């Protein structure tokens, strides 16, 4: 096994990741795990190509997903490691959960738990 030295990332830095999902049925994927590409390669050209592809795919969305991530980070500053906010198709937060849990806690319109 080879370990790579990783520079400390900055808030809102764009880091392309590979994501893995677990699906146990129902409407949503129950488990989400993202792994930065730099964990698997030190080839800056590959990482750059992946980031360009993410940017190209992002243009098809109704809202810039990097900006959505920034908004969520600012709205939920105490989210904590391993926790995530679920968004509907209009990028409105509706749930909060740990990435390993199957169930989520519903949020009200202000983004607070019911």
30-88 residue pLDDT tens: 566 778 888 888 898 998 998 888 889 888 888 888 889 889 989 998 888 888 898 88
3-class DSSP state for residue 74? helix
CB atoms within 10 A of CB 101: 13
Q: Read off the DSSP letter of residue 107.
A: B
Query: Rounded distance, CA 3 to CA 12, Å?
Result: 24
Of 14 and 85, which is predicted with more confidence?
A: 85
Q: Which of 10-19, 25-34, 73-82 has the lowest mean pLDDT?
A: 25-34
What is the pTM for the complete model shown? 0.64
Q: Is the pLDDT of residue 103 over 70?
A: yes
CB atoms within 10 A of CB 28: 15
H-helix or E-strand containing 36? strand 31-36
Residue pair 47/16 in contact by the 8 Å Cβ criterion: yes
The pLDDT score that the predictor gives to residue 3 is: 41
């Amino acid at each position: 096994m080879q370990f790579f030295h990783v520079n400390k990332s900055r808030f809102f830095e764009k880091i392309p990741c590979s994501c893995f999902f677990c699906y146990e049925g129902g409407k949503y994927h129950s488990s989400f795990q993202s792994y930065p590409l730099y964990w698997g390669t030190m080839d800056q050209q590959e990482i750059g190509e992946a980031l360009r592809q993410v940017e190209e795919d992002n243009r098809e969305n109704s809202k810039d997903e990097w900006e959505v991530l920034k908004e969520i980070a600012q709205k939920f500053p105490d989210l904590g490691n391993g926790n995530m906010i679920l968004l509907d198709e209009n990028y409105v937060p509706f749930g909060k959960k740990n990435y390993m849990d199957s169930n989520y806690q519903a949020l009200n319109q202000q983004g607070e738990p019911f």
